[in-house]
Amino acid sequence: MPEHPLEIHEGDWAELGRDATEIRRVVFIEEQSVPIEEEWDGRDVACRHFLALWNGTPVGTARLLPDAHIGRVAVLAEARGWGIGAALMRAAIEAARRHGHPRVELAAQTHALAFYERLGFEAVGSEFLDAGIPHRNMHLSLRD
């Protein structure tokens, strides 16, 4: 029995893809109307994946691309506000640090900018649309 109800698992697509697929389908395709062909971009096999389980139930996911971009951060609606997104981000940032990346980057939906800023990310460049949703690029230096 875990001491805390939240566990973050790290692995490859073969290990975590089934659960990550379902979470991303619900959050991005159903809730946010992201086109299926944009969500499934063919890059998952090359990524490190992170799966959040709350009391053993998959509730969130994120991925780290080989170039240190973090993406596909998704938490099911019923589990939002519990610190799951921040825990997923910390796990992805730590994995990037472990792999020697000098910084991590992401494209944040503009409504989530403050969330990423609380984790130390800085917004750069201007707003753009991705899958019809306003985004801004952000980065976080991993150098001391």
Q: Which domains does the chain have, with CATH numbers?
A: 6-141 (3.40.630.30)
pLDDT of residue 101: 97
Structure confidence by residue, pLDDT tens digits, 12-48? 999 999 999 999 999 999 999 999 999 999 999 999 9
Q: Residue 4: which pLDDT band, with cuts at 50, 70 and 90?
A: confident
HEC sequence for the chain: CCCCCEEEEEECHHHHHHHHHHHHHHHHHHHCCCCHHHHCCCCHHHCEEEEEEECCEEEEEEEECCCCEEEEEEECHHHCCCCHHHHHHHHHHHHHHHCCCCEEEEEEEHHHHHHHHHCCCEEEEEEEEECCEEEEEEEEECCC
Average pLDDT in the chain: 95
Per-residue confidence band for 50, with pLDDT thresholds at 50, 70 and 90: very high
Residue 26: count other Cβ atoms within 10 Å of its Cβ: 14
How do residues 26-36 score in pLDDT, each as one tens digit? 999 999 999 99
Angle at 132 between CA 129 and CA 133, to 5 degrees: 65
pLDDT-based confidence at residue 1 (cuts at 50, 70, 90): very low
Using the predicted structure, report yes or no on whether residue 93 has a pLDDT greater than 50: yes
